[in-house]
Amino acid sequence: MNKKQFLGISFIVMFNVVQVANVCFAEKEHPIDKFQEECTNRDSTTLGMAECLVEATKKWDAEMNKYYNLLMGLLKEDEKKRLKESQRAWIKFRDAEGEVIKHLYPYTGTKYMLDRASDNQDITKERALKLKEYYEVVKWEY
């Protein structure tokens, strides 16, 4: 086998490994995202979409609390203290960011309500997914 053939075969093998990894580790649609999509499909008015975002945000908040509590159940005392401090700081951030969002979209109308709801959901969803990620790592360590 010459160098050109070796490189060609190596490329094909690496390409296939990457493709298998993409399939194995691909994220499935989260049930809350699916709920939001179905909710929006039932009522695709701007007001309906905003209400769906608010409901989905409540679900993300519950998801966040679920993984926060699961983590607290696994951690040692000093780690629990750090997580608690982190969560309190995040809540302050969320509330402050909510004020910024409210003032960036101060206008009336459903379009701005939709923008505010979407931004608020993004913040909560990101934290929920981060706590889930922490939990997934920690549960294998303990």
pTM greater than 0.75: yes
Question: For the domain with range 29-141, which CATH number is right: 3.40.50.2300, 1.10.150.570, 2.30.40.10, 1.20.1270.180?
Answer: 1.20.1270.180
In angstroms, the CA 65 to CA 40 distance is 25
Q: Where are the domains of the chain?
A: 29-141
**38-to-19, 113, 120 alpha-carbon distances in Å:** 30, 20, 20
pLDDT value at residue 103: 87
Q: Quick count: other Cβ atoms within 10 Å of Cβ 26?
A: 7
Assigned token pair, 104: 């960036």
In angstroms, the CA 37 to CA 35 distance is 5
- If phi > 0 it is left, if psi is from -120 to 50 it is alpha, else beta; for residue 84 that is alpha
In angstroms, the CA 142 to CA 88 distance is 24
What is the mean pLDDT for each group of 10 consecutive residues in the chain (142 residues)? Answer: 52 44 58 96 90 95 98 96 97 96 80 88 97 94 72
